[in-house]
Chains A and B, each alone.
Chain A
């Protein structure tokens, strides 16, 4: 009998530690599927962040380096520059990428480093217990914004794709969401495209993935996905911001 659905080779069979309803597991799978799709297991090196995905190296059946908080794009730069034939990706959350590691991501992007960045935006610091993130929405309650994010006091969220889209360096920038199966399939396509851009040597690629954090949002998994759709998507519009062929198209 032919198997029509199986675990990607690039995923290990280690049990994931992610909370029930968290979308990290789905994104891990999409990344592994893209790596299998292009047959890249033997030439891929992943860079894990600090945050909920700190143990990503246990779930991917790939060579890995674990970076300091926010420094994954710099580590990936070092790897890719000395192994230009390899495929290098980072997997980073919003605190890691958009707060402490903002300099690293902006400069890797503007240098046009031929790496792929998977950016998980769930509008909160998950690992440390639900503090305000650079992507926390206005009014959103977190453990360090208990009265809701007050933009007059702490400012506004950062839209990473739009920010990086001001640079000449990136080749591919897209924002996708995990809130329903259709969007998950769309995300899978964007992640494949991002790796393809790297394989073809076209430059820096980043996929921002709107994700849920039921535990720290204090919601059920279903409520959390609904919150992504109803609150996050309007603030963080989905679409392809940059591709090697076309620039600044915001259509999905």
Chain B
């Protein structure tokens, strides 16, 4: 397989096309513009649809329509734009329309800034819009994973009829790395008997999120919760490095996991036993692996590009069996390897 250099955002877009994405709607916002720009060139070559929507709100609703009609559909944006999409995401989650939403996150709150951020973790993993719902949230740690995880996101979205999100950030989106692209997927294999394609030789298909009667809404929510339990049981993904002999396990995802890994290398040179656990799915969260490490006597340092969001899930997973420390920076700043290393040395 040929390795080529690609920018994160473009690799992600090409990965989506190769995974069978044939509908993209988006709206310009930095630092994700390479995604719609790439799609606007590439979609016509594969008989797909690219639409620049009038707003983020419209873009996600176009995806709702296209996904509900059975097409592999996606939208991408960056933090303020993802906030605008939350209404549509809530409807999509309830109506069980498979689709993929990409957040190339930037600093917030408000208009925020253009620097990288991990402050959208709560929004991505705890619902974001109204109601009890979950997205399957993937966090790429390399440009190669941008390609691999968007393909997986489309597969899991279809498998569970659930929206999936790629939570990336400005650094992951803008940097270049070598990637191996997968083969173009055969679209004929995806069968969606529930899609609204016109009621030929069958009864009505309905894409809907309304449960006016209390018992209907209860039934809808029970069905969703049962699905979320299956996802939690089957779809947790994470990577561990050097945890077996570690006294301290760093917990970090995406860009901050790369900084944490470098700091871990420096500490190891000093003879400190440091490991790394990197969640690849942020929801479902790798609770059990963290609980097991805590039970084995490891303590933890959570590293985030926020003032502390994922750390709450780590504390819940560890559940007082061990100590959890935190290192984070407010949005606008990117932590340096030396800062994380210093924090490690304070602890050990």
Q: Is the CB of A42 within 8 A of B199?
A: yes
Q: Is the CB of B69 within 8 A of A78?
A: yes
Q: Is the CB of B65 within 8 A of A78?
A: yes
A45-B196, A78-B62 as given contacts; A65 in contact with B208, CB under 8 Å: yes
When the two chains form the complex, which single residue of A43, A62, A74, A86 contacts B61, counting CB atoms closer than 8 Å? A74
Which A residues are in CB contact (< 8 Å) with B61? 67-68, 71, 74-75, 78, 104
B106 within 8 A of A: no
Which A residues are in CB contact (< 8 Å) with B49? 81-82
A74-B53, A74-B61, A77-B51 as given contacts; A63 in contact with B66, CB under 8 Å: no
When the two chains form the complex, which single residue of B22, B66, B199, B206 contacts A41, counting CB atoms closer than 8 Å? B199
User: Considering only CB atoms, which chain B residue lies closest to A10 in the complex?
Assistant: B199
Q: Is the CB of B198 within 8 A of A42?
A: yes
Q: Is the CB of A78 within 8 A of B198?
A: no
Q: Is the CB of A62 within 8 A of B199?
A: yes
Which A residues are in CB contact (< 8 Å) with B66? 78-79, 81-82
Quick one: which of B280-312 are within 8 Å of A by CB? none
When chains A and B are docked, how far (Å) is the Cα of A74 from the Cα of B198?
18
B152 to chain A, nearest CB (A): 22
B207 within 8 A of A: yes
Quick one: which of B202-240 are within 8 Å of A by CB? 204-210, 212
When chains A and B are docked, how far (Å) is the Cα of A65 from the Cα of B205?
8
Residue numbers of A with Cβ under 8 A of B are 41-45, 47, 54-55, 57, 61-68, 71, 74-83, 86, 103-104, 106-107
Q: Is the CB of B63 within 8 A of A78?
A: yes
When chains A and B are docked, how far (Å) is the Cα of A54 from the Cα of B58?
19
When chains A and B are docked, how far (Å) is the Cα of A61 from the Cα of B58?
27
When the two chains form the complex, which single residue of B59, B68, B91 contacts A79, counting CB atoms closer than 8 Å? B68
Interface string of B143-171 (1 = CB under 8 A from A): 00000000000000000000000000000
When the two chains form the complex, which single residue of A55, A64, A86 contacts B207, counting CB atoms closer than 8 Å? A64
When chains A and B are docked, how far (Å) is the Cα of A36 from the Cα of B53?
33
When chains A and B are docked, how far (Å) is the Cα of A79 from the Cα of B73?
11
User: Considering only CB atoms, which chain B residue lies closest to A72 in the complex?
Assistant: B61
Which B residues are in CB contact (< 8 Å) with A107? 53-54, 58
Quick one: which of B17-54 are within 8 Å of A by CB? 22-23, 25, 49, 51, 53-54
B107 within 8 A of A: no
B193 to chain A, nearest CB (A): 12
Which A residues are in CB contact (< 8 Å) with B197? 45, 63, 83, 86
When chains A and B are docked, how far (Å) is the Cα of A47 from the Cα of B53?
18
A45-B196, A63-B204, A86-B198 as given contacts; A81 in contact with B95, CB under 8 Å: no
When chains A and B are docked, how far (Å) is the Cα of A43 from the Cα of B196?
10
Q: Is the CB of B65 within 8 A of A74?
A: yes
Q: Is the CB of A63 within 8 A of B199?
A: yes
When chains A and B are docked, how far (Å) is the Cα of A80 from the Cα of B15?
25
When the two chains form the complex, which single residue of B54, B198, B204 contacts A43, counting CB atoms closer than 8 Å? B198
A53 to chain B, nearest CB (A): 12
Residue numbers of B with Cβ under 8 A of A are 22-23, 25, 49, 51, 53-55, 57-59, 61-71, 73, 87-88, 91, 95, 196-200, 204-210, 212
When chains A and B are docked, how far (Å) is the Cα of A86 from the Cα of B208?
19
When chains A and B are docked, how far (Å) is the Cα of A202 from the Cα of B77?
32
Which B residues are in CB contact (< 8 Å) with A64? 196, 204-208
When chains A and B are docked, how far (Å) is the Cα of A228 from the Cα of B54?
34
When chains A and B are docked, how far (Å) is the Cα of A41 from the Cα of B202?
11
Q: Is the CB of B69 within 8 A of A83?
A: yes
Which A residues are in CB contact (< 8 Å) with B25? 78
Which A residues are in CB contact (< 8 Å) with B53? 74, 107
When chains A and B are docked, how far (Å) is the Cα of A80 from the Cα of B69?
9
When chains A and B are docked, how far (Å) is the Cα of A61 from the Cα of B203?
8
Can you list 20 pairs linking A and B with CB atoms under 8 Å apart? A43-B198, A45-B198, A47-B65, A54-B210, A57-B204, A57-B208, A61-B204, A66-B210, A67-B61, A67-B64, A68-B61, A75-B65, A75-B68, A77-B51, A78-B61, A78-B68, A78-B69, A82-B69, A83-B198, A104-B61
When chains A and B are docked, how far (Å) is the Cα of A55 from the Cα of B23?
28
Looking at B67, B87, B208, B210, the one whose CB has the most chain A CB atoms below 10 A away is B208
Q: Is the CB of B200 within 8 A of A42?
A: yes
Q: Is the CB of A79 within 8 A of B69?
A: yes
When the two chains form the complex, which single residue of B73, B204, B207 contacts A66, counting CB atoms closer than 8 Å? B207
Q: Is the CB of A74 within 8 A of B58?
A: yes
Q: Is the CB of B71 within 8 A of A82?
A: yes
A107 to chain B, nearest CB (A): 4
Looking at B25, B68, B70, B210, the one whose CB has the most chain A CB atoms below 10 A away is B68
When chains A and B are docked, how far (Å) is the Cα of A76 from the Cα of B71?
14
When chains A and B are docked, how far (Å) is the Cα of A75 from the Cα of B209?
14
User: Considering only CB atoms, which chain B residue lies closest to A63 in the complex?
Assistant: B196
User: Considering only CB atoms, which chain A residue lies closest to B55 in the complex?
Assistant: A103
When chains A and B are docked, how far (Å) is the Cα of A214 from the Cα of B61?
33
